């Protein structure tokens, strides 16, 4: 009798242990493949650790026009960041020509083609400014996630992530990663030697025509000296001052 009881007891303990470990695994299970997550976080960590940087890239926007044909529009982008409270971006291309300045107090957006600009009193840090812009103005500067001080948003909405393999971008060997989210699928190519982002492709799968946005970074400079003048806005001659429409009071 004691032997039967002990057998039952041992079996019960084993089953419980297995169940508990299964539950623990389920709780820890990340949607991102560990290798992909490690490489992504290394690149984002490298970026957020930099006190300042400059970057340049080539953008393309592919979208469906009337008639169903897909057209690709190209642009160039430049960005400068000085943590924790300065950034500047500029886009020149077929669809948009504009620039953004944030100097720790004011955010200004200039539409170069129309020579019109608007300014808005901003919070005192980049991260707060970007949060408020999204809430009040309804938009963010291009590649806003790379301007942030903290990479808190990086994994927030990811539903799955995988390591695709090795790929070459502009002659540089990279690790290609692919991620899915509710509204977008995106891929990133990260330099194997120095963990910087070399290319990003985003597909807006819920929008009509599934437009696609891609940026290939041509230069990264983590040693740039960025004086205040880089982030200070001076209205161009003849520029018209306009207002932002506040989407949420």
Nearer to another protein (CB atom), residue 50 or residue 118 = 118
Rule CB under 8 A: say whether 248 interacts with another protein.
no
Q: Identify the CA nearest to 93 among candidates 190, 206, 198, 213.
A: 213
Contact status, residue 58 vs residue 74, Cβ threshold 8 Å: yes
Residue 233 main-chain phi, psi, to 5 deg: -90, 130
At residue 81, the 3 state secondary structure works out as strand
Q: Identify the CA nearest to 217 among candidates 38, 39, 37, 53.
A: 53
Q: Identify the CA nearest to 105 among candidates 122, 88, 85.
A: 122
Residues 133-152 touching another protein, rule: CB under 8 A, are 137-140
Residue 55 CB, shortest distance to another protein, in Å, is 20
With CB under 8 A as the contact rule, which of the stretches 27-35, 110-118, 160-168, 207-215 interacts with another protein? Answer: 110-118
User: Using omega within 30 degrees of 0 as the cis cutoff, is the peptide bond preceding 228 cis?
Assistant: no
Rule CB under 8 A: say whether 132 interacts with another protein.
no
Residue 115 CB, shortest distance to another protein, in Å, is 6
Residue 191 CB, shortest distance to another protein, in Å, is 31
Rule CB under 8 A: say whether 115 interacts with another protein.
yes
Residue that has been written with the tokens 């970074």 in this structure:
217
Residue 43 CB, shortest distance to another protein, in Å, is 27
Nearer to another protein (CB atom), residue 39 or residue 146 = 146
Interface with another protein (CB under 8 A): 109, 111, 113-116, 118, 137-140, 240-245, 247
């Amino acid at each position: 009798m004691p032997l039967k009881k002990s057998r039952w007891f041992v079996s019960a303990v084993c089953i419980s242990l297995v169940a508990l470990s299964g539950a623990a695994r389920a709780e820890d299970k990340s949607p991102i493949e560990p290798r992909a997550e490690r490489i992504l976080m290394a690149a984002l960590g490298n970026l957020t650790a930099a006190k300042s940087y400059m970057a340049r890239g080539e953008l393309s926007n592919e979208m469906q026009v009337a008639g169903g044909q897909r057209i690709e529009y190209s642009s160039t982008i430049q960005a400068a960041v000085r943590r924790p409270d300065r950034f500047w971006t500029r886009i020149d291309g077929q669809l948009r020509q504009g620039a953004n300045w944030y100097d720790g107090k004011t955010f200004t957006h200039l539409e170069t083609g129309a020579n019109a600009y608007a300014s808005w009193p901003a919070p005192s840090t980049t991260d707060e400014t970007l949060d408020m812009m999204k809430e009040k103005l309804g938009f963010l500067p291009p590649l806003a996630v790379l301007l942030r001080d903290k990479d808190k948003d990086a994994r927030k909405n990811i539903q799955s992530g995988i390591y695709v393999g090795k790929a070459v971008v502009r002659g540089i060997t990279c690790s290609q990663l692919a991620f899915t989210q509710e509204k977008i699928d995106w891929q990133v190519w990260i330099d194997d030697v120095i963990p910087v982002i070399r290319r990003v492709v985003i597909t807006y799968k819920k929008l009509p025509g599934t437009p696609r946005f891609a940026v290939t970074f041509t230069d990264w400079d983590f040693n740039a000296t960025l004086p205040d003048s880089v982030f200070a806005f001076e209205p161009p001659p003849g520029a018209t001052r306009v207002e932002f429409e506040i989407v949420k009071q």
